[in-house]
Amino acid sequence: MSVFDDLQNGASYDIFDPRYVEEAHGEMARCRHLCWQINGTDPDEREKIAALEGELLGTLPEGSFLTPPFQVDIGCRLRLGKNVFANHGLTVMSIGTITIEDGVMIGPEAALLTVNHEPKNIRVIKTREIRIKKNAWIGARVCILPGVTVGENAIVGTGSVVTKDVPDNCVAVGNPACVVKRS
Protein backbone atom coordinates (compact mmCIF):
# COMPACT_ATOMS: atom_id res chain seq x y z
CA MET A 1 0.00 0.00 0.00
CA SER A 2 1.32 3.48 -0.85
CA VAL A 3 1.54 6.54 1.39
CA PHE A 4 -1.33 7.94 -0.67
CA ASP A 5 -3.51 4.91 0.07
CA ASP A 6 -2.60 5.12 3.77
CA LEU A 7 -3.60 8.79 3.88
CA GLN A 8 -6.85 8.12 2.04
CA ASN A 9 -7.61 5.43 4.64
CA GLY A 10 -7.19 7.87 7.55
CA ALA A 11 -3.51 7.53 8.46
CA SER A 12 -1.42 10.52 9.53
CA TYR A 13 2.14 11.10 8.38
CA ASP A 14 5.02 13.10 9.73
CA ILE A 15 6.32 15.10 6.78
CA PHE A 16 9.86 13.93 7.63
CA ASP A 17 8.96 10.22 7.61
CA PRO A 18 11.39 8.67 5.05
CA ARG A 19 8.59 6.79 3.28
CA TYR A 20 6.51 9.96 2.98
CA VAL A 21 9.51 11.92 1.72
CA GLU A 22 10.31 9.31 -0.91
CA GLU A 23 6.79 8.77 -2.28
CA ALA A 24 5.09 12.12 -1.77
CA HIS A 25 8.03 14.37 -2.52
CA GLY A 26 8.91 12.28 -5.57
CA GLU A 27 5.40 12.74 -6.98
CA MET A 28 5.42 16.43 -6.04
CA ALA A 29 8.69 16.93 -7.94
CA ARG A 30 7.31 15.11 -11.00
CA CYS A 31 4.13 17.20 -10.95
CA ARG A 32 5.91 20.47 -10.26
CA HIS A 33 8.08 19.92 -13.35
CA LEU A 34 5.10 18.97 -15.56
CA CYS A 35 3.08 21.97 -14.33
CA TRP A 36 6.06 24.19 -15.10
CA GLN A 37 6.19 22.76 -18.64
CA ILE A 38 2.44 23.14 -19.15
CA ASN A 39 2.32 26.66 -17.72
CA GLY A 40 5.21 27.71 -19.98
CA THR A 41 3.63 26.38 -23.17
CA ASP A 42 2.07 28.74 -25.70
CA PRO A 43 -1.68 28.66 -24.94
CA ASP A 44 -2.45 28.10 -28.62
CA GLU A 45 -0.59 24.76 -28.49
CA ARG A 46 -3.63 22.97 -27.04
CA GLU A 47 -2.57 19.52 -28.28
CA LYS A 48 0.82 19.83 -26.55
CA ILE A 49 -0.86 21.05 -23.35
CA ALA A 50 -3.38 18.19 -23.47
CA ALA A 51 -0.57 15.65 -23.93
CA LEU A 52 1.34 17.07 -20.96
CA GLU A 53 -1.86 17.11 -18.87
CA GLY A 54 -2.36 13.44 -19.76
CA GLU A 55 1.16 12.73 -18.54
CA LEU A 56 0.50 14.67 -15.34
CA LEU A 57 -2.73 12.79 -14.55
CA GLY A 58 -1.99 9.42 -16.12
CA THR A 59 -4.75 10.02 -18.65
CA LEU A 60 -6.77 13.01 -19.80
CA PRO A 61 -10.40 11.97 -20.34
CA GLU A 62 -12.25 12.96 -23.48
CA GLY A 63 -13.21 16.62 -23.58
CA SER A 64 -11.44 17.54 -20.33
CA PHE A 65 -9.05 20.47 -20.08
CA LEU A 66 -7.28 22.35 -17.29
CA THR A 67 -6.51 25.90 -18.43
CA PRO A 68 -2.94 26.98 -17.67
CA PRO A 69 -1.53 28.32 -15.52
CA PHE A 70 -2.41 25.92 -12.71
CA GLN A 71 -0.71 23.90 -10.00
CA VAL A 72 -1.37 20.24 -9.17
CA ASP A 73 0.84 18.78 -6.46
CA ILE A 74 -0.06 15.06 -6.64
CA GLY A 75 -1.27 14.23 -10.16
CA CYS A 76 -1.65 10.52 -9.46
CA ARG A 77 -4.44 11.31 -6.95
CA LEU A 78 -6.49 13.67 -9.14
CA ARG A 79 -9.18 11.76 -11.02
CA LEU A 80 -11.09 13.57 -13.76
CA GLY A 81 -14.22 12.49 -15.59
CA LYS A 82 -15.13 13.41 -19.15
CA ASN A 83 -15.80 16.99 -20.21
CA VAL A 84 -14.33 18.59 -17.09
CA PHE A 85 -13.23 22.19 -17.58
CA ALA A 86 -11.16 24.22 -15.14
CA ASN A 87 -10.35 27.85 -15.83
CA HIS A 88 -6.92 29.40 -15.13
CA GLY A 89 -5.34 29.66 -11.71
CA LEU A 90 -6.55 26.33 -10.31
CA THR A 91 -4.67 25.13 -7.21
CA VAL A 92 -4.99 21.42 -6.43
CA MET A 93 -3.57 19.82 -3.30
CA SER A 94 -4.71 16.28 -4.05
CA ILE A 95 -2.59 14.10 -1.77
CA GLY A 96 -5.83 12.92 -0.10
CA THR A 97 -7.46 12.17 -3.50
CA ILE A 98 -9.79 14.36 -5.52
CA THR A 99 -12.44 12.94 -7.82
CA ILE A 100 -14.09 15.31 -10.30
CA GLU A 101 -16.91 13.62 -12.19
CA ASP A 102 -18.18 14.19 -15.75
CA GLY A 103 -19.24 17.65 -16.88
CA VAL A 104 -17.90 19.66 -13.93
CA MET A 105 -17.03 23.30 -14.57
CA ILE A 106 -14.55 25.15 -12.33
CA GLY A 107 -14.08 28.93 -12.43
CA PRO A 108 -10.78 30.81 -12.27
CA GLU A 109 -8.52 30.71 -9.23
CA ALA A 110 -10.38 27.93 -7.41
CA ALA A 111 -8.56 25.87 -4.75
CA LEU A 112 -9.20 22.20 -3.93
CA LEU A 113 -7.39 21.27 -0.72
CA THR A 114 -7.39 17.73 0.72
CA VAL A 115 -4.63 18.15 3.32
CA ASN A 116 -4.41 19.71 6.74
CA HIS A 117 -1.88 19.71 9.59
CA GLU A 118 -2.34 18.55 13.18
CA PRO A 119 -2.66 21.69 15.35
CA LYS A 120 -0.46 20.26 18.13
CA ASN A 121 2.24 19.11 15.69
CA ILE A 122 2.20 20.97 12.40
CA ARG A 123 4.70 18.50 10.93
CA VAL A 124 1.98 15.83 10.89
CA ILE A 125 -0.56 15.80 8.06
CA LYS A 126 -3.97 14.22 7.66
CA THR A 127 -6.06 14.18 4.52
CA ARG A 128 -9.68 13.76 3.52
CA GLU A 129 -10.97 13.14 0.01
CA ILE A 130 -12.84 15.75 -2.05
CA ARG A 131 -15.51 14.62 -4.51
CA ILE A 132 -17.24 16.90 -7.02
CA LYS A 133 -20.16 15.12 -8.62
CA LYS A 134 -21.51 15.27 -12.17
CA ASN A 135 -22.33 18.63 -13.73
CA ALA A 136 -21.48 20.68 -10.65
CA TRP A 137 -20.39 24.25 -11.20
CA ILE A 138 -17.69 25.72 -8.96
CA GLY A 139 -17.45 29.52 -9.19
CA ALA A 140 -14.37 31.72 -9.34
CA ARG A 141 -12.11 31.82 -6.28
CA VAL A 142 -13.99 29.06 -4.47
CA CYS A 143 -12.01 27.16 -1.85
CA ILE A 144 -13.09 23.57 -1.15
CA LEU A 145 -11.67 22.10 2.05
CA PRO A 146 -10.80 18.50 2.99
CA GLY A 147 -13.60 15.95 3.15
CA VAL A 148 -16.18 17.89 1.14
CA THR A 149 -18.53 16.40 -1.44
CA VAL A 150 -20.22 18.79 -3.87
CA GLY A 151 -23.41 17.18 -5.15
CA GLU A 152 -24.60 16.50 -8.66
CA ASN A 153 -25.80 19.65 -10.48
CA ALA A 154 -24.83 21.79 -7.47
CA ILE A 155 -23.57 25.34 -7.84
CA VAL A 156 -21.03 26.92 -5.49
CA GLY A 157 -21.00 30.71 -5.76
CA THR A 158 -17.96 32.86 -6.37
CA GLY A 159 -15.62 33.35 -3.42
CA SER A 160 -17.26 30.71 -1.24
CA VAL A 161 -15.33 28.62 1.27
CA VAL A 162 -16.85 25.13 1.31
CA THR A 163 -16.36 23.43 4.67
CA LYS A 164 -19.30 20.98 4.52
CA ASP A 165 -21.01 18.88 1.86
CA VAL A 166 -23.25 20.61 -0.69
CA PRO A 167 -26.28 18.42 -1.57
CA ASP A 168 -27.33 17.57 -5.12
CA ASN A 169 -29.23 20.28 -7.03
CA CYS A 170 -28.45 23.06 -4.53
CA VAL A 171 -26.82 26.47 -4.65
CA ALA A 172 -24.37 27.27 -1.84
CA VAL A 173 -22.64 30.61 -1.22
CA GLY A 174 -20.62 32.38 1.44
CA ASN A 175 -17.89 31.86 4.00
CA PRO A 176 -18.57 29.28 5.22
CA ALA A 177 -20.74 28.25 2.28
CA CYS A 178 -24.41 27.68 3.14
CA VAL A 179 -27.21 26.33 0.95
CA VAL A 180 -29.41 29.21 -0.23
CA LYS A 181 -31.49 27.42 -2.85
CA ARG A 182 -32.71 23.91 -3.56
CA SER A 183 -34.20 22.91 -6.89
Which residues are known to be catalytic? 117
- Is-contact 177 166, C-beta < 8 A? yes
Q: What is the residue-wise DSSP string for 75-132?
A: GGGEEE-TT-EE-TT-EEE-TT-EEE-TT-EE-TT-EEE-EEEETTEEEEEEE--EEE
CA 76 vs CA 21, 27, 87, 172, 182: distances in Å = 16, 8, 20, 29, 34
The span from the CA of 82 to the CA of 27, in Å, is: 24
